[in-house]
Amino acid sequence: MDGHDNSVPVGRRVAYWRSRRNMTQQMFADRLGKSKSWVDKVERGIRELNKLDVLHEIAAALRVDVALLQTGPLSGGAVPPADTELRGLVDGVQASLARYGPAAPAGSLDRLGRNAAYGWTTFRHGRLRRVLADLPGLLAQSRQARADASGADTVAAEVFQLAATVLRKVGAAEVAWLAADRAMAVSVGLGDPVLAARAAVPLGGVVRELGQPRPAFELCVSVAHDLAPKDPLAVDEERLSVHGSLLLQAAMAAAQLGDPLTVLELVDQAAACAARVGDGQDHHHTGFGPALVDGVRVAAALALESPAVAVAAHEQAATRPGWWGLPAGTRADHLVDAARGYAGTGQEADAARTLLEADRIAPEEVRVRPAGRAAVALALRQADRPDPRLVMLGESLGLDGAR
């Protein structure tokens, strides 16, 4: 089995994934609430990891499925070939974020705006590598535009938000934090409360991804409260879209905190906003609408370790007209979550079906995202007789050792 060695100790796998997440032993220890010595002993195999709850805590801190701590791609600590290209793309974005001052001539501000909008569309359709490849140029154009023209900060903020969103999705949360912070700084300077609040959406997501759900919750709830419409009868779709997006981010943070009642309250509030906005609007590139709310119901149920609730929410969402109007990448994202729910409830055939459908409509949502790869590993591990097509997909991802 190429790229696999199931005899590799769990501690070495922990060290591998910690390194992949660019965390020192001390950073990882702080995230777990353990000592650096504890982490060192685990990684060297002196301390055994024989408790499932501890394995789950470690997997959550590393943002991988627990299966990847037991089996999965590992060969002498080398990065799998498919990830080498992805890491190069992420490094390119990080290098661009590290540059300051004017760049090469940016062209017209209108052209930059069109390029940014195209980047968001590409992202919604699940072409994650394409977005990452284009971002260094977009960031350079934004730097020059801000030096050359007034009014460029609005587009620059959109570019930073795009960078933060896609970087988080591919598992580069530390780099995403830099982009999200830049987006917030630029947006606050615009003096528009809606644009400033929009920047808090990816920032909240990144803070969650970095293992800090409480600060993420407090940020999103606070900004959402300030942005709440003063007139309940007024319909300002742009404001409602940003307000609702913040509520959904807060709901996901509450789910990570294990607070189902708060999750339900926040998602229901967001649903009320979404009903007034409708599907297919994408105000301020939020993608906000009833279908997005449905997707968060599924994701939040999974975070609360309620896979049966996630499955029920997905199956209800898939019957609504807005489901089929979702961009391919967004729909595939939801299908990956649904597959995790099916796997968690022992419905192995449905887990395979949804993953294969996600791979058909937006392959990179499965093959590039850590969440997608982990879902495939989980589905393979849970199945007594896995779908041969899923086995082939797992092998193409270097996950054949999950069987």
Q: Are 87 and 166 found together in one domain?
A: yes
Q: Establish if 28 belongs to a structural domain.
A: yes
Q: What is the DSSP string of 155-211?
A: HHHHHHHHHHHHHHHTT-HHHHHHHHHHHHHHHHTTT-HHHHHHHHHHHHHHHHHTT
Average pLDDT, rounded, for the chain = 86
Q: Establish if 96 belongs to a structural domain.
A: yes
Q: Are 90 and 157 found together in one domain?
A: yes
Q: Establish if 55 belongs to a structural domain.
A: yes
Q: Is residue 286 pLDDT above 90, yes or no?
A: yes
Q: Are 89 and 145 found together in one domain?
A: yes
Q: Are 121 and 65 found together in one domain?
A: no
Cα–Cα distance between 169 and 197 in angstroms, integer? 20
User: Which of 126, 148, 170 is a domain's end point?
Assistant: 170
pLDDT in tens, 115-135: 999 999 999 999 999 999 999
Q: Can you give the pLDDT at residue 71?
A: 57
With cut-offs at 50, 70 and 90, classify the pLDDT of residue 152.
confident
pLDDT in tens, 23-38: 778 888 888 888 888 8
pTM: 0.79
Cα–Cα distance between 399 and 361 in angstroms, integer? 21
pLDDT in tens, 45-77: 888 787 777 887 888 788 776 666 765 544 333
- 61 CB-near residues (< 8 Å, 6+ apart): 28, 31, 32, 211
DSSP letter (8 states) at residue 79: P
Of 225-239, 249-263, 340-354, the one with minimum mean pLDDT is 225-239
Q: Are 87 and 61 found together in one domain?
A: no
Q: Are 49 and 96 found together in one domain?
A: no
Using CA atoms, how far residue 345 sits from 177, 351, 393, in Å, is: 34, 9, 21
Q: Can you give the pLDDT at residue 182?
A: 93
Q: Can you give the pLDDT at residue 79?
A: 33
Q: Establish if 65 belongs to a structural domain.
A: yes
* Packing angle of the helix pair 213-227, 193-209 (nearest 10 deg): 160
Q: Are 46 and 93 found together in one domain?
A: no
Q: Establish if 135 belongs to a structural domain.
A: yes
Q: Are 107 and 153 found together in one domain?
A: yes
Of 15-29, 78-92, 193-207, 348-362, the one with minimum mean pLDDT is 78-92
The rounded radius of gyration (Å) of the Cα atoms in the chain is 21
Q: Establish if 207 belongs to a structural domain.
A: no
Q: Are 24 and 47 found together in one domain?
A: yes
Q: Can you give the pLDDT at residue 5?
A: 42
pLDDT in tens, 236-246: 899 999 999 99
User: Which of 170, 190, 222 is a domain's end point?
Assistant: 170
User: Which of 139, 155, 170 is a domain's end point?
Assistant: 170
Q: Are 59 and 97 found together in one domain?
A: no
Q: Can you give the pLDDT at residue 149?
A: 63
Q: Are 51 and 98 found together in one domain?
A: no
Highest mean pLDDT among 4-8, 159-163, 381-385, 393-397: 159-163
With cut-offs at 50, 70 and 90, classify the pLDDT of residue 101.
low
Q: Establish if 166 belongs to a structural domain.
A: yes
Q: Can you give the pLDDT at residue 16?
A: 77
Using CA atoms, how far residue 296 sits from 56, 119, 304, 359, in Å, is: 22, 23, 12, 20
CA 65 vs. chain centroid, Å, equals: 14
Q: Are 153 and 111 found together in one domain?
A: yes
Tokens at 49, concatenated: 């990891």
Number of domains in the chain: 2
Cα–Cα distance between 387 and 258 in angstroms, integer? 33
The backbone region for 169, taken as left when phi is positive above 0, alpha when psi lies in -120 to 50, beta otherwise, is alpha
- 142 CB-near residues (< 8 Å, 6+ apart): 106, 112, 152, 155, 156, 159, 160
Percent of the chain, pLDDT > 70? Answer: 89
The CATH number of whichever domain residue 39 belongs to comes to 1.10.260.40
Q: Is residue 166 pLDDT above 90, yes or no?
A: yes
Q: Establish if 94 belongs to a structural domain.
A: yes
- 147 CB-near residues (< 8 Å, 6+ apart): 101, 102
Cα–Cα distance between 60 and 17 in angstroms, integer? 11
Q: Which range of residues forms the domain containing residue 156? A: 83-170
